Structures are given as C-alpha cells and as structure tokens.
Structure 1
C-alpha cells in the first residue's frame, strides 16, 4: 500500500482537526456541563441544558423561526436567481461579463455594510425609501422593515442570491443553445422548451444552490442581528446572547450544537437527492 498520499495529506488533516474537529468536540462536551450565576461553569456530565432546550417552547420557536426564514430566503433566491442565471447564460460578450460583475459585486462588499444599507433605506421614518414615500403621500406610515422577519428575509435574499445564480449558471453551461433553437424549429413553444429542456438541465444547479443558500441563511448571524435586533432572535443570535450576555456557555453550546446537527441532517439529506438528480439527468 502506498503511504505517500497519506503522508502528503496528513498536514492538511492535522490542521482540519485542530481548527474544526477539536473545537466542535469541545463545544459538544461543553453542552453537557452545568452552569450557575454564582458558581459559573461546572464540568459535570448532565443533560440539564438539553432538557431545557427540548422542553421550553421558547427555543422551539427560535429554531422554527430560523428555518422558516431560511426556507423563505431559499424560495426567493430560486424564484429570482434561476431566471437571472438563464438570462445571463443567453447573453453575449461583453454584456455577460458586465452583468456577471454586477451579480458578484455584492459579494465584494462586507455583509455588515450591505445589511446596514438596507437599514438606511427602510429604517423607520428616517429611512430613504420610507421618507420619500411618506413625502409623496403614497403611504401613511413607514413600511415595517426593521425588527421584522420580512426585513431579515429581504436582506438575506440580497446577500445570498449570487450563490444561487452562480450554481444555476454553472449547471446551464452544459446546455447548448442550439438545442433550444432546434426544439422551437420543430414546433415546441417557449414554455415547453423551458419545461422539457431548460428545467431538467438547470435542476441540479437549483438544488445545489438551494442547499448552499439554506445552510448560509439558517446559520447567518450579522444580518439577523442588525435587522432583527434583540426583539427578533434566531438560533445564531440566541447562541450569541447565551455566550456573551448571560454568560451561560453550556446552554449556548447546546443551541449551537443543535443548529449544526439540524443543518447537517438537512444538507446531507438534500445532497443525496441532488446526487440522484445528477445521475438521472447526466447519467
């Protein structure tokens, strides 16, 4: 047996274990420790934190809100990102490169800066959009954006849609435009071409992009923290508060581990579906 590949990969595996596996293991172990306001963290093995999370409906609402927002962001990214990727795929140079730069442009800006931009646009009466609409008399009260799920969904969709566009665009690279022209020449309508030719080719990219967007939306912290604030928490901001505000590290670790475990189950399950879809389309 050749050991050279294992020796060459050992430094990378060692680094991965040091920065990923070990911290995750310590977080899981921390979730089984006790905590008290005056005694701090007590290194004993108990299920107190897990019982509290599973028995208190407050935590259930936090996780339900987290995955509800992630699902809405994913659906909006598919609805707007997939057609955008199809249009981008049909563009000719130099317009394709120009619009690709426009799509990727938001990724070059900090997520905090982009989220603050949305807050400035819709933040109460002082927001630019609300102040213009109020001055024109089109609305009688500011549109609710800050501290709402709608605001979080809109801001996260803007942040994560480029990932969907890139995933679908990469899948459509396999599609020869001449196939669509041949189908039209044979009498197929535009809707039939999209349904029978374009959609099967784009579906693996849509599924892959949906997995990426859902995972990033469910684990996002900066955007829910800025737009949602302390009034509207999700799992990531809840774990942050437990760690840094109440200093209940074991409970915060429990929330973080549950979020990670749920995301892994969802991502792995959907990934198997994506692999089967690839096998059906390209196998």
Structure 2
C-alpha cells in the first residue's frame, strides 16, 4: 500500500528534477541577482538591498516602458482573437480535402524563425519597401509613410507571429464540439448567426481564452520583433532588460526589470485563469 502511495511522486520526480534544473534554478538566480548592488567601477557588489527596485520605482522611463509593453500586448491579443477565431471556424467548416491544406498554410509560419519573418516585415514596411512603393504607385497622398520603428510595425509583426496560436487553440476546441448541437439549434429555428453566437462561441470559449492568454504572455515578453521593428526608441520591457544587461552592464538592474516583468505576467495569468474557472463553474451551475 505504501509503495502505491508514493508511486506517483517517484514517477514524476525525474520530470520535476529536470524542470527545476532547466527552468526554476535560472529564474531564482535572476531574482536573487536583482537584489545585488552595482557600481560602474567595481561591477556587481556583494551586498543585498532593494536599491534596484527603488531606482525603478522612481524611474519614469520604466513606467513608460511597462505601459507600452502591456498596451501593445493587449492590442495584439485583441487583433489575434478577431483574426484567429473566424479563421479557425472557416477552416473547420471547409471540405476535408481543403481543410488540411489551409491548416498547413496557417501553421506554416511557425516553422520559420521569428527573426526571418520580422526581416520580411522590415522589407515590407521600410521607406522604400514594397508597401510604400505600392502606395506611391497608386498615388496615395503623403506616401511614402514612416512605418518602420513605430508601434504599428510592432503590432503587425507580433500579430503575424501570434495568430497561429489562437487558430490552433480554437481549432482544438472546435474538434471537441459536437456537431449535433448546431443541427439541433437549427432544427429549432435558430439562424446561422444565432447558432454561432449562442452555441458555437460559448463552447469554444475555453480555446479562445487559452489562445488569448498564450498570445498575451508571449507578446508581453517578446524581444526580437519589438527590437527589430521598434528600434531603440520604442523600448519594451524585454529590450530594456537587454539594454541593462549588455549595454550598461548593470546586471542587477536588468534582473530587477526581468523579475518585475515575470511577476506581472504571472499575476495576469493567475487572474485570467481564475476568470476562466469562475466562468466554467457558472456554466456548470456551481457557485
């Protein structure tokens, strides 16, 4: 009996040990580093204090960067939902011979490096890029426009990267949806819009919310796309961390920025998860 009681822990121990080694130890090390002192002449000091967090608390640039980070992540999440949910529903309703091909087209960008895809957007959005050249050719007043190194460029790049995640999450929910529910609603006189609003969307909402959470967290912590499309002027939290680590060499301050970003993302995840659980309990009539 005792062996059976400890069997789950023994079986999960290798995975927990691996997870702790490759994930938790580096995160804890960064968090501890954020409490170290720093001097530009002596480097990292062997003292412990809250000086780095106090410096960030009084830094207006830090608040601006964090506000921009989460504002852009929210915009990207909303756009990905608006694009990805209809896309997943349309693909799900396609004939089987086209469904697999279209799903491959949607997921295909995930097989290409984020840096390569971002370089593609740089070619499109540059002053002499394809988009500006097209607007010049059709005679749009004011062209060429400054599209690179703007928040619009960052949003476009992140949406292109993140939309497949929403499509896959919603696709999984649609696969679990019983087709008989829609047919039953139609037999009772419901139109297509009513079926979509009152049958399909409530049942795939867990997939939508899971996809939204993934997109938000990854957008808030993205580095390559905001750095390449936003430049040095439009900093986000990840690029601010990069600057402190590799430009000013103030590792403790960079670690403090990274720790606060991680805590903010974790808080958002916990809040979002609690909302999802609360909604699920209401649907089940519990609580």
User: Is the TM value for this pair above 0.5?
Assistant: yes
Distance 2:215 2:146 in 1: 25
1:183 is aligned to: 185
Query: How do 1:87-236 residues align onto structure 2 when only pairs under 5 Å count?
Result: 87-124=90-127, 126-236=128-238
Distance 2:96 2:46 in 1: 62
1:247 is aligned to: 249
Is the contact between residue 135 and residue 143 of structure 2 (CA under 8 Å) also seen in structure 1?
no
1:12 is aligned to: 15
User: Which SS does the other structure have where 1:34 is aligned?
Assistant: strand
Gaps of 5+ in 2: none
> Which of the numbers 19, 24, 45 marks the counterpart of 1:21?
24
Distance 1:171 1:261 in 2: 29
Distance 2:181 2:145 in 1: 46
Offset of 1:92 from its aligned partner? 2.0
TM-score (normalizing by structure 2)? 0.94
User: Deviation per CA, 1:169-223, whole angstroms, max 9, x where unpaired?
Assistant: 1112222334323322322122211111111112111111110000000000110
Offset of 1:120 from its aligned partner? 0.3
TM-score (normalizing by structure 1)? 0.95
Q: Check 1:143–1:177 CA distance in 2 against 1; reply closer, same or farther (3 A cut).
A: farther
Is the contact between residue 204 and residue 277 of structure 1 (CA under 8 Å) also seen in structure 2?
no
Is the contact between residue 182 and residue 199 of structure 2 (CA under 8 Å) also seen in structure 1?
yes
Q: Check 1:91–1:278 CA distance in 2 against 1; reply closer, same or farther (3 A cut).
A: farther
User: Deviation per CA, 1:117-166, whole angstroms, max 9, x where unpaired?
Assistant: 01101111x10111121133124222332111111011100100000011
Offset of 1:279 from its aligned partner? 4.1
Is the contact between residue 201 and residue 281 of structure 1 (CA under 8 Å) also seen in structure 2?
no
Distance 2:179 2:90 in 1: 12
Offset of 1:24 from its aligned partner? 1.2
> Which of the numbers 59, 69, 72 marks the counterpart of 1:69?
72
Distance 1:64 1:24 in 2: 23
Q: Check 1:175–1:7 CA distance in 2 against 1; reply closer, same or farther (3 A cut).
A: closer
- Larger CA deviation: 54-63 vs 173-182: 173-182
Offset of 1:59 from its aligned partner? 0.2
- Larger CA deviation: 20-29 vs 99-108: 20-29
User: Deviation per CA, 1:216-270, whole angstroms, max 9, x where unpaired?
Assistant: 0000011001001101100000000100000000000000000000000101110
2:84 is aligned to: 81
Instruction: Note the aligned Cα RMSD (angstroms).
Output: 1.5
User: Which SS does the other structure have where 1:231 is aligned?
Assistant: coil
> Which of the numbers 53, 59, 63 marks the counterpart of 1:60?
63
